[in-house]
Amino acid sequence: MKLPLFPLKSIFFPGETVPLHIFEERYKQLIQDCRDEAITFGIPVYMNGTIAYGTEVQLVEVVNTYESGEFDVICVARQIFRILTFDHEMEGKLYAGGIVEFIDSVNDADDDLRNKVLDKLKVLYDFMQVQFPPTDIKKFNSYAFAHKMGLTFEQEYQLLQLTKESERLHYIQEHLDTTIAVLEQIDRTKAMIEMNGHFRNFDPLDFNDFEVK
């Protein structure tokens, strides 16, 4: 499928709200085409000088328009794709485009796995002293907290490429296990530092028990 492309050093997951500030002429034209023709566009992830995967997004609304001609828009992320070809300009357009292959997501995770990951997320939030929002297990998926669990940009990009929900949840579970273990060690270290900083009574040594050799 041929898709207009808007490369960014950002990662968006399906279902996520995508706020964008539009100021370049080529992307002003793209947003106008989205409004006039109800087309979608893709946001490929620009990483290490290359683009390979990205997410299709759909324009929802233009929320602010400035005297300079710039504007703010809200989009929603839809489907992940892999880029097959890339053109710096689509025919007759200022913006880029290319042929993409959409990647089907396999929803093969059971509630048991979802519950395990959700429980670990709650543990992480407790450590961080952040209130965990009420979450319905039936609506919970691997993308729900993807930006809110301490994944690096590279890890988020790896998550984006996984096609099965079970794979994504296991990936997140492994990350949470590692992160929580580190936080537990930090807590133990803090406790030891605090304990050693307090005044305590020590039994004086009995030098009569020593033997010098």
Domain residue spans of the chain: 2-102, 111-196
pTM for this predicted structure: 0.86
Query: Could you read off the pLDDT of 21-35 as tens digits, one per residue?
Result: 999 999 999 999 999
Distance CA 102, CA 105 (A): 10
> According to the model, what pLDDT value does residue 195 have?
63
pLDDT band at 191 (very low <50, low <70, confident <90, very high): confident
> According to the model, what pLDDT value does residue 16 have?
96
Q: Is 14 exposed, middle or buried (0-12, 13-18, 19+ CB in 10 A)?
A: middle
Q: Which of 79-88, 91-100, 204-213 has the lowest mean pLDDT?
A: 204-213
* Structure tokens given for 153: 């940009």
Handedness of CA 104, 4, 153, 21 (dihedral sign): negative
pLDDT band at 205 (very low <50, low <70, confident <90, very high): low
Please give the CATH architecture assigned to the domain spanning 2-102: Roll (2.30)
Query: Could you read off the pLDDT of 91-107 as tens digits, one per residue?
Result: 999 999 999 999 999 99
